[in-house]
Amino acid sequence: GDSVTQMEGPVTLSEEAFLTINCTYTATGYPSLFWYVQYPGEGLQLLLKATKADDKGSNKGFEATYRKETTSFHLEKGSVQVSDSAVYFCALSPYNTNAGKSTFGDGTTLTVKP
């Protein structure tokens, strides 16, 4: 079946540091790929998505590129802020299925210190 593997956390960075959170996936066909962010005590919010190979999703300074050859969708940000502290989830959704049946990674907790 489909699976998503995320870089284990927690990740602790200083403000303005470069962020990479690795995500690799296993799926048949051409899934859509997502990054969601969860702030403490809240639900998930879509951060960015990509729906086909070589697409780059971007939002709020975060970027991720859909790499079919390496089955990866790594999240990057050039300069993190304290307000970026949250849990980040990578997810995939096969093109021919319901969006709610997405497969989620276990989440990576990011803490940014001033």
Q: Which stretch binds another protein (CB under 8 A): 17-25, 60-68, 76-84, 86-94?
A: 86-94
Q: Select 105 or 112, whichever has its Cβ closest to another protein.
A: 105
Sign, Cα dihedral of 54, 64, 36, 6: positive
Cβ distance 61 to 17 under 8 Å?
no
16 binds another protein (CB under 8 A): no
- Among 106, 36, 114, smallest CA distance to 75 is for 36
Give yes or no for residue 102 binding another protein (CB under 8 A): yes
43/114 with CB nearer another protein: 43
